[in-house]
């Protein structure tokens, strides 16, 4: 009888250890799963300028992509990036109200104010780029709509650093390179037109 009891206790103890190790592994994997796009602020600014704002659409797409992957929602991140003007408010609100992120750090940015500012600056930039002459297009490239995304990216970076200290930034992806190449081509065309 005592042998049977010892066997049962040993089996239960082994199962508890296995479950504990499995739960630890799951918690470790969950904490390693990115909540949002974790990039340096300098990359956001530089690629926004070099790509004539195209990178900002990629930034919106990629953050929706991380949300979709983590929460398994039925959204299409690609189209949310393409139509960023329509989905910027909901993205910034989603980041601001994210329960896991808020449990790590309290957001200090205003999602509605920043999103509205970004939309206004993007519309103004597009209108200005269509003005006659090349000067309007060059000035439009330097309208700092990306500054409305900087506080959000700063918050994302703070959450990621507190959640996983020593984390590596998101690597340069194919999307980053496409934005950069398109931007360089556009700048090259503008500089040629400016010289003629």
DSSP code per residue over 117-172 = HHHHHHHHHHHHHTSSSHHHHHHHHTS-GGGGTHHHHHHHHHHHHHHSTTPPPPPP
Question: Residue 135's pLDDT is what?
Answer: 74
Q: How far apart are CA 75 and CA 82, in angstroms?
A: 13
User: Cα dist. 153→5, 82, 135 in Å?
Assistant: 57, 19, 30
Is residue 3 predicted with pLDDT exceeding 50? yes
16 pLDDT band, cuts 50/70/90, is very low
Is the entire prediction scored with pTM above 0.95? no
* Interval 93-146: pLDDT, tens: 999 999 999 999 999 999 999 999 999 999 998 888 887 677 777 788 788 999
Question: Residue 154's pLDDT is what?
Answer: 97
* Interval 144-179: pLDDT, tens: 999 999 999 999 999 999 998 888 899 999 999 999
* Interval 36-71: pLDDT, tens: 999 999 999 999 999 988 999 999 999 999 999 998
72 pLDDT band, cuts 50/70/90, is confident
* Residues making up the chain, counted from first to last: 196
42 burial class (0-12, 13-18, 19+ CB within 10 angstroms)? Answer: exposed
């Amino acid at each position: 009888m005592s042998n049977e009891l010892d066997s049962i206790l040993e089996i239960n103890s082994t199962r508890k250890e296995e479950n504990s190790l499995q739960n630890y592994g799951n918690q470790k994997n969950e904490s390693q799963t990115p909540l949002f796009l974790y990039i340096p602020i300098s990359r956001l600014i530089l690629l926004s300028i070099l790509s004539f704002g195209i990178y900002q659409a990629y930034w919106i797409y990629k953050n929706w992509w991380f949300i979709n992957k983590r929460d398994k929602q039925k959204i299409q991140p690609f189209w949310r990036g393409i139509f960023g003007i329509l989905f910027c408010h909901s993205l910034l609100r989603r980041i601001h109200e994210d329960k896991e992120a808020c449990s790590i750090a309290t957001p200090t940015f205003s999602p509605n104010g920043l999103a509205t500012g970004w939309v206004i600056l993007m519309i103004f930039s597009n209108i200005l780029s269509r003005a006659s002459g090349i000067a309007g297009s060059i000035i439009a490239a330097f309208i700092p709509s990306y500054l409305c995304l900087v506080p959000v990216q700063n918050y994302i970076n703070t959450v990621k650093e507190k959640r996983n200290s020593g984390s590596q930034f998101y690597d340069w992806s194919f999307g980053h390179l496409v934005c950069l190449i398109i931007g360089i081509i556009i700048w090259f065309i503008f500089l040629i037109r400016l010289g003629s």
